[in-house]
Amino acid sequence: MQKKPPKSTDVVIIGAGPAGTSAATHLAKAGINVVILEKAQFPRPQVGESLIPHFWKFTDVLGVSEAIEAEGFIAKAGGISVWNGKTRQILFSDFGYTRAGLHVERDIFDHLLLKHSERSGAMVYQQINVQKVDFSQPNNLGVYFSDQENKKGIIRCAYVIDATGHRSLLARQFNTRHLINSKKNFLALWGYFKNSRYAGADYKSHTIDSIKKNRPVTFVMSYKEGWLWHIILRNTASVGLIIHPTHTKNFNKHQREIFFKQHCQSLPHLKDLLSNAHFIENSITHRPDYSYYSTQICAENYYSIGDAAAFIDPIFSHGVQNAFYNAALASLAIKESFKNPSKRQRYSQLCASRMQQYYNFSRALSLGDLGHNSLHQNLVRSLMKTMPALELELMLAAAHTTNRSENFKKLAMEAGIWKNFIAQSQGEQLTQPTQLNF
């Protein structure tokens, strides 16, 4: 039987996804007492299987890269998009990356990170549902929870990290969570298939037994109602439809599944990849309020990180990387706050500014959301001025494949770097249209 959480600790982290567990690892390695409270029992299903190579720099610092490599996840070469009928490809190697991106089963990947945080010294308690956090005593917060038997409890701490993902516990508690008000509002509908073919870097489709000889890519495609993804995994394929909410308005689960299957069987290229595949029953998942942001993500005694603070669009596979980035920032701010308590408000402000830079850049790049939804253009400008040229080139190429390069150009012009930025022509060259042979 699982032991009860302690009565008090230094930091409570709510949620055990990549954001929560990596923050816990950073803090525990610094000698800070950390408790993770997780609502689910791991391993648990999760979407977001595509990882771009940027994540390795974070797992190296965490000390978990070797365990990730040993797991044997599928290494991907890049991505292919079919957008408005034009087929383009991005290969990570063209941008100087020597380590591959990955297609991961998120239940296994997240569990691996959780076990690593526990080995690093974090105390982990699963099937613990946190209802609220009491901030009435700023230096002695109260985290109220119930266990799997619905027994109530409270744990006291100096700092709270909200890593509850889409649930956004603290943003909802403070009423600071807002849906994106945009023409590009979407919902996500996804499920899993067995025996699917996959898209290769050679523009052909292959069976899973060719995976070591023909490197896979993440496949995305636009169509009339939105866009889709196809991500090959070791035993299944993840397929998602991104659509406007009106297309499935008032649908129940059975109706959504029928809608999903019909689209998978009829959409070009996707139907070819799934020609010999069969749908895994009851694997369909639906996420409505798709893009959102919070106007208050950090304060002197709490930090909302990863998807708990905001979620924009999975088109660029930024989610897990953003979780690692936020966790590194928040844990650094908390470590410094323990050393200098009088400056903890300042540390939280600096952390919030850096995190909002990334969220604002992602929103502006994905949605073209300039001047709307409380987007702070000055944060975007300052971030782009400091980003490595190689990363900006990859961003531009990715934006070009999905017809969002105009968004990038506007951002670069705002930042004053466009005239000296030669990546546009490189991006065009690296993503020249070609033809698929599925």
In a domain, 180, yes or no: no
Q: Tell me the per-residue pLDDT of 210-264, one tens digit each, with 9 for 90 and over.
A: 999 999 999 999 999 889 999 999 999 999 999 888 888 889 989 999 999 999 9
Q: What are phi and psi for residue 135, nearest 5 degrees?
A: -105, 15
Q: Is 152 exposed, middle or buried (0-12, 13-18, 19+ CB in 10 A)?
A: exposed
pTM above 0.85? yes
What's the domain range around 242?
A: 50-103+186-290+387-438
Q: Higher model confidence: residue 73 or residue 95?
A: 73
C-alpha to C-alpha distance for 235 and 223, rounded to whole angstroms: 27
**Is there a contact between 133 and 144 (Cβ–Cβ < 8 Å)?**
yes
Decide if 434 contacts 425 (C-beta within 8 A).
Answer: no
- 46: tokens are 């999760």
| Assigned domain for 311 exists | yes
pLDDT at 182: 60
Q: What is the mean pLDDT of residues 56-77?
A: 97
**Same domain assignment for residues 37 and 141:** yes
DSSP letters spanning 96-154: T--S-EEE--HHHHHHHHHHHHHHTT-EEEES-EEEEEE-SSTTSEEEEEE-TT--EEE
pLDDT score recorded for residue 406: 78
Percentage of residues of the chain with pLDDT beyond 90: 68
Note the pLDDT tens digit of each residue in 139-164. Answer: 999 999 999 999 999 999 999 999 99
Q: Are residues 199 and 89 in the same domain?
A: yes
Q: In this structure, are 118 and 267 located in the same domain? A: no
Is residue 138 reached through a cis peptide bond, with omega within 30 degrees of 0 on the bond before it? no
Q: Which of 385, 406, 429 finishes a domain?
A: 385
The candidate with the shortest Cα–Cα distance to 353, out of 391, 321, 320, 386, is: 386
Predicted confidence at residue 11, as pLDDT, reads 98
What secondary structure letter does DSSP report for 437?
B
**Contact at 8 Å (CB) between 405 and 382?**
no
Q: Is the pLDDT at 423 greater than 70, yes or no?
A: no
Contacts for 102 with CB less than 8 Å, ≥ 6 apart: 50, 51, 55, 68, 73, 74, 75, 76
Cα–Cα distance measured from residue 243 to residue 267, given in angstroms and rounded to the nearest whole number: 14
The CATH number of whichever domain residue 214 belongs to comes to: 3.30.9.100
- Tokens representing 321 are 């990387």
Q: What is the dihedral of CA 287, 292, 296, 302, to 10 degrees?
A: 30
CA distances from 47 to 44, 231, 233, 239 (A): 10, 11, 12, 10
Contacts of 281 (CB under 8 A, 6+ apart): none
Tell me the pLDDT of the chain averaged across its residues: 90
**Do 251 and 305 share a domain, yes or no?**
no
**Domain count across the chain:** 2
- Which residues, in sequence order, are bridge partners of residue 244? none
Q: Which of 126, 127, 161, 116 is nearest to 143 (CA)?
A: 161
Query: Do both 143 and 280 map to the same domain?
Result: no
For residue range 325-361, what is the model confidence (pLDDT) as tens digits?
Answer: 999 999 999 999 999 999 999 999 999 998 988 887 7
Domain-terminating residue out of 385, 414, 430:
385
Residue 285 pLDDT level (bands cut at 50, 70, 90): very high
Among the residues of 210-280, which ranges form H helices? 253-266, 270-273
- Given a contact cutoff of 8 angstroms between Cβ atoms, the answer to whether 21 and 110 are in contact is yes
In this predicted structure, what is the pLDDT of residue 308?
A: 96
Tell me if 181 is assigned to some domain. no
- Region of 319 on the Ramachandran plot (φ > 0 left; ψ -120 to 50 alpha; else beta): alpha
Percent of the chain at pLDDT exceeding 70: 92
Confidence bin at 77 (pLDDT 50/70/90): very high
3-class SS of residue 226: strand
Residues in the chain: 438
